[in-house]
Amino acid sequence: MVKAKRKPLEEIRDAIKSYKRVLTVGCGGCVSVCMAGGLKEVNTMNAELKQMFKEENIECSFDGFTVERQCNMEFLEDVADKVGKFDCLLSMACGAGVQYMSERYPDIPVFPAVNTVFIGVDKEIGVYEEKCRACGECVLGYTGGVCPVTRCAKGLFNGPCGGTNKGKCEVSSEVPCAWVTIYDRLKAQNRLDDILKIQQPMQWQNQVQRTIIQEPYKERYAKQD
């Protein structure tokens, strides 16, 4: 899922301090799961902002509401009757949610309260690790389920490079070399042939904004000429 991290409180303050009434909108989707922008985090952040604004003598009132997901117009309707009472919205959703919120309520400023960081996994409670960059051309089939786009610092398709150091990446002795991991896994599965052939340059699909329509819906959304 998408993983996010709350922005520094000072940055949020600077964005919203000229507004008097702020509605913080949480999201019950991914950011709730990674504990960055769900119901609980809305309450925590509003409490922290109230405290900060009080100490700095900035006049501002905060309210909070969490919708099921901000990446869907239907759920965004749930704040329609509230938005008019506020001067700005502070969205705790991922970048997609913030943009959809801004699109639904174009007359009111919407500010992001979190940084959307990556698509990743839950390592421990509150600890997340990046696994996917949504490149749109998944190569995990021949790389033993290890993503070279995300996990190799150079994004190599024919690694490992010469910088591999005792199985670690040249950028950090803490980071395992993706290509050593790929090699080890494929070797164990007796599939090294998969990486013996030269992989040709990637045909990048993520260089323009993408839209997908799932196969069963193609007909429904076919463009009318």
Question: Which residues in this chain contact another protein in the complex, by CB under 8 A?
Answer: 202-205, 207-208
139 or 202: CB nearest another protein: 202
Q: How far is the CB of 204 from another protein (least distance, A)?
A: 5
Q: How far is the CB of 151 from another protein (least distance, A)?
A: 17
Give, for 9, the enclosing helix (H) or strand (E).
helix 9-16
Dihedral angle of Cα 71, 75, 80, 82, to the nearest 10 degrees: -100
CA distance 11 to 8: 5
189 or 205: CB nearest another protein: 205
Q: How far is the CB of 225 from another protein (least distance, A)?
A: 18
90 or 149: CB nearest another protein: 149
CA distance 211 to 225: 19
Q: How far is the CB of 160 from another protein (least distance, A)?
A: 21
What's the token pair of residue 86?
């506020």
Q: How far is the CB of 4 from another protein (least distance, A)?
A: 24
196 or 208: CB nearest another protein: 208
75 or 157: CB nearest another protein: 157
CB under 8 Å, gap of 24 or more: what pairs does 115-124 form?
115/4, 115/5, 115/6, 115/7, 116/2, 116/3, 116/4, 117/3, 117/4, 117/5, 118/2, 118/3, 118/150, 119/1, 119/2, 119/3, 120/1, 120/3, 122/33, 122/34
